[in-house]
Chain A
Amino acid sequence: MNTTFKLVDFSCRAVEKVDLDLSGGQCLGLTGPSGTGKSLLLRALADLDPHAGQMLLDGVASTRMPAPQWRRQVGLLPAESAWWFDAVGDHFDPPPPPWLERLGFDAQAMAWQVSHLSSGERQRLALLRMLAQEPRVMLLDEPTANLDPKNITRVEGLLDDVRRELRPVLLWVSHDLDQLRRRCDSILVLEGRRLTPLVEGAAIGDRPGEVPTP
């Protein structure tokens, strides 16, 4: 069955009365000036912040299932990942997917100490940790922000495969418009609590309040 992710009359601190209808395999890019609440929107979608209106996954409202179950299916990859055990592997439950090599690690990585990780390693391992849960919706907050070009290619390639194999709904937040154009089917701009389609050629955030309209 193809996944569907729907927002109906959805409001939170970042947006007001948004309707959205996404289906599995689709990748939606989200951009906008800093501080407009892109991360807040993703938090609300993962039900970590309160919201008004409805979120539906495969037609089932978020309120109809326990919050942990919702969050396992609507996975959020935050810009700053959190680690609470000493060893990397202890954070993986279920065990890591067979994609370690794809991101430039070998099996040894599971035994590494979290405190010795670089910020880029943390980010890539956090992505793997989320992918391991095989969520139906993946909310990616700047997933390549701390990565060098080689690793950006790796991550983008892996996400491409995941998209084809698991067919999740992808919501990709980035400041890098080129990346969003490469990877996403459509791009929305978040500004002034509204989501509007990106108009090519229009500058983003130059004139606050005057969001380009489609």
Chain B
Amino acid sequence: MSVIALSPLDLSLAGALVVVLAIISRSMRLQLGRQLLVAAVRTTVQLLLIGLVLKALFGHVHPGWVALMACVMLLAAGREVMSRQKRRFTGAWSFGLGTLSMFVSSFAITVLALVVIISPQPWYEPQYAIPLLGMLLGNTMNGISIGMDRLTASAWDQRTLIEGRLMLGQTWRQAIAGLRNESIRSGLIPIVNAMMAAGLVSLPGMMTGQILGGSPPMEAVKYQILIMFLIAGGTGLGTMTAVWLGSRRLFDERQRLRLDRLRKG
């Protein structure tokens, strides 16, 4: 089975949908028309670029190039996590916490999956490594940014409660435990829901892509199951790391709540 190649005309027809949507939203004064068009153009340009990069990468299999690509992806994800915070940590902490947590979780799990489970030759074969890492980063990024956003926002709102606990001689761990657990939960709910709905309500993008690309359905399904598990592991690990480090950062060495370490994003 081979793929039916898409022509530029095919893509333009689909693109026309976005243009129509932009026109309608303009007439409804949704203030979204411009953003829609910018987003559509960005999608096109970014994906075309990544297509070229991947083509070059697959042509020159070298660990250095793969590592470089992975770093760029990681930094972009770190920036994205930071920009989604309503109240973010001051200084390098905001970027650092998210990026570190994603590094710990996504990289570790991608390497684990490549070396132990999929075992391509060589293990850093970009055709496997890059899409896998991309999917893990994209999903841990969501978990981490939801978790961190929840943590900082609720610490800000519930200052009196946290300090009320501190006043009674509770440790910072006791004072923040409730918020911390809530934050981790909210970071994990999307992936739990995704696993619940997979196959019933939604056909996951990767699997659909593989099937469209001509893979036998059962092979695509097996890969999807693998990916789901990896994403769940990565999101859990990453969100826990980020929320734990973040909650530690909210207190100083005398266990005072330091909301001055947050600023409006």
Contacts of A63 in B (CB 8 A): 254
Smallest CB–CB gap between A115 and chain B, Å?
Answer: 14
Q: Which residues of B contact A80 (CB under 8 A)?
A: 160
How far does the Cβ of A117 sit from chain B's closest Cβ, in whole Å? 14
Q: A48-B256, A50-B256, A67-B254 are in contact. Are A83 and B168 (CB under 8 A)?
A: no
> In the complex, A78 Cα to B257 Cα: how many Å?
16
User: Which chain B residues in 156-205 approach chain A with CB under 8 Å?
Assistant: 160-161, 163-171, 178
Pairwise interchain contact B168-A72, C-beta atoms closer than 8 A: yes
A78 pairs with B164, CB closer than 8 A: yes
**Interface size range on A against B:** 20 to 34
Interface: A68 (CB within 8 A): yes
A87 → chain B, closest Cβ, in Å?
15
In the bound complex, do residue A71 and residue B166 qualify as a contact, i.e. CB atoms below 8 Å apart? yes
A49 at the interface (CB under 8 A from B): yes
Query: Most B CB atoms within 10 A — which of A48, A67, A83?
Result: A67
Residues of A within 8 A of B164 (CB): 78, 81-84
- CB of A76 closer than 8 Å to a CB of B: yes
Q: Are A84 and B165 within 8 A (Cβ)?
A: yes
Tell which of A46, A48, A68, A84 has the most Cβ of chain B within 10 Å: A68
In the bound complex, residues from chain B placing their C-beta under 8 Å from that of A78 are 160, 163-164, 167
Complex partner residue of A76 from B161, B167, B254, CB under 8 angstroms? B167
B residues neighboring A (CB under 8 Å): 160-161, 163-171, 178, 252, 254-257
Question: 11 other contacts beyond A47-B256, A67-B256, A133-B168, with CB at 8 A cut-off?
Answer: A50-B254, A67-B255, A68-B255, A69-B169, A76-B167, A78-B160, A82-B164, A82-B165, A84-B164, A84-B178, A133-B169
28 contacts between A and B (CB under 8 A): A47-B254, A47-B256, A48-B256, A48-B257, A49-B256, A50-B252, A50-B254, A50-B256, A66-B255, A67-B166, A68-B170, A68-B255, A69-B169, A71-B166, A71-B167, A72-B168, A72-B169, A75-B168, A81-B164, A82-B160, A82-B163, A83-B161, A83-B164, A84-B164, A84-B178, A130-B167, A130-B168, A133-B168
